Structure 1
């Protein structure tokens, strides 16, 4: 059997072929017929593609107009855009080594009656299901916005019990952790001590876009040496919430100065440690975790705006 090289050599040195005219004509007609068939198939594909685009456009338009698809698109757009660093400083802010927000909970075990078998509002405290879950949700929402957050779940009540200290000393205990965090993180812009209010649901719930949302309030100590700065950041936060979601914030509550001049009897709520300190109450004792989380999503939007102004 001849190998390929020998066959190629024979073809190479063979005389020119002179096909019959009938063969050439038949071959030309066959090729033209095949070309026409291919062209026809191509036109059908283009027509199918055109109508697919038309149908898809009509369907998307109907979805946006009739089923609220525009809200989904806007939310998706904002989620994507918020995940893109705006500049080099924002990228640094998102670094694990450079938190810009610190969240903690002085009253760590504050819980919600929908979580608990015991519906007594005066006993709505739990070591596991408590306000730290709300702080964790806020941390998650802020990280989605490329904001790095340090969240503490330290149980300050447990520390009090272990040291046999009076309950009035709890801010002293949480304040030590705040100071430690400040010492280690020089670029913090905002510190938030998150609580839940003791008021009932009627006073701590608002309707937004057809859903129940936990309302919020701020507490500022007039005793704090940073009182003016503390009040300024709380008022700014309140105003931004009021502008975006009227009624979500119940305002800034002032704790009057103590009549005693003894500094040991003054309650600063740790606001003396940092100018941009907030005591933020999200919802109340009867709110559900779903209502709390809806509030957190809106709060995160405002914090994102607020941090820009704190640069």
Structure 2
């Protein structure tokens, strides 16, 4: 008995066939019916897909609007984003031998009351309108002077929350980024941690050329192993500001940690942070620079920044 292959081979090599017209018509009708059936099934599947998408969309909107689904989505988004690297500093992972200045902000969300709505002084913190804008302006002014500068806008407050750390650890967290920058940029001359003061406008504002300008101050940790070097660079900066713009600098503030020593003078300022060095132990030419205060405007801050940039330009020459 022949198998299928043998039968097909026989048909392939047989003389041309002349089927009856009835057979041809019946076969045509059968093929048309099958084609129509296949097309109908395809349309039904496609229609079912569209309806499924529409129903899912309506369900998602209802869940989001009526049952608080938006809160779940937002929470999930933040959970996913927190898994990504936390640093936000240009070129932090790339070595740049020409970098002279690194600017960052340990208290990233420090803001200014005039820039916020319905905020009292104790609530002058914001994720967008904050001290990083002042750092960005200083970065811009330094670049105009052909100074190679890195500026970090990393939100260290957020990192502390994400890691479920006590807020007193925030300098440890910002110090991790400082160390990374130091490791990748071997020729840094100056590191500046920019803050704004908590004092009111009367104490943090000076009049220069008929305009209000945010005054500045420097904070140096007496606990830092680099205390002498840290104080030296702060004093030098203060003296240069005082020479060019008398009164713009309110001076260098020395801070020490809490201690149980009963002989400690009460006039000494107590440092509330467990990490007592303000990262000044990581680099000799480290500055904690306070520009203006909680009641100053961004405009007043930026006027100060323009003058500060002039002095940094001079200072870097002496640090060569």
The answer, yes or no, to whether TM exceeds 0.5 is: yes
Q: CA deviation at 1:257?
A: 4.3
State the TM-score, normalized to the length of structure 2.
Answer: 0.65
For 2:276, the equivalent position in structure 1 comes to 267
Q: CA deviation at 1:265?
A: 3.8
In the aligned structure 1, how far is the partner of 2:178 from the partner of 2:214? Answer: 26
Q: CA deviation at 1:266?
A: 4.7
Structure 1 segment 115-134 matched on structure 2, within 5 A: 115-134=115-134
Q: Which has the higher helix share?
A: 1
Structure 1 segment 94-243 matched on structure 2, within 5 A: 98-243=98-243
SS in 2 for 1:119: coil
In the aligned structure 1, how far is the partner of 2:97 from the partner of 2:236? Answer: 28
In the aligned structure 2, how far is the partner of 1:98 from the partner of 1:185? Answer: 8
In the aligned structure 1, how far is the partner of 2:241 from the partner of 2:250? Answer: 10
**Alignment pair present for 1:302 and 2:307:** no
For 1:14, the equivalent position in structure 2 comes to none
Native 8 Å contact 2:111 2:130 kept in 1 = yes
SS in 2 for 1:256: strand
Q: CA deviation at 1:260?
A: 6.3
Native 8 Å contact 1:103 1:192 kept in 2 = yes
Native 8 Å contact 2:175 2:279 kept in 1 = yes
In the aligned structure 2, how far is the partner of 1:187 from the partner of 1:238? Answer: 23
Give a deviation string over 1:88-135, Cα, whole Å, max 9, x none.
xxxxxxx96521000000000000011100230000000011000000
State the TM-score, normalized to the length of structure 1.
Answer: 0.67
Give the paired residue count: 215
For 2:286, the equivalent position in structure 1 comes to 277
In the aligned structure 2, how far is the partner of 1:186 from the partner of 1:97? Answer: 6
Q: Which runs of 5+ in 2 are unaligned?
A: 1-94, 262-272
RMSD: 1.5
Native 8 Å contact 1:221 1:255 kept in 2 = yes
SS in 1 for 2:160: helix
Any runs of at least 4 consecutive aligned residues in structure 1 with deviations exceeding 3 A, and if so which? none
SS in 2 for 1:272: coil
In the aligned structure 2, how far is the partner of 1:225 from the partner of 1:97? Answer: 26
In the aligned structure 2, how far is the partner of 1:97 from the partner of 1:177? Answer: 17
SS in 2 for 1:193: strand
In the aligned structure 1, how far is the partner of 2:166 from the partner of 2:214? Answer: 31
Native 8 Å contact 1:118 1:124 kept in 2 = no
In the aligned structure 2, how far is the partner of 1:256 from the partner of 1:277? Answer: 17
Q: CA deviation at 1:259?
A: 2.4
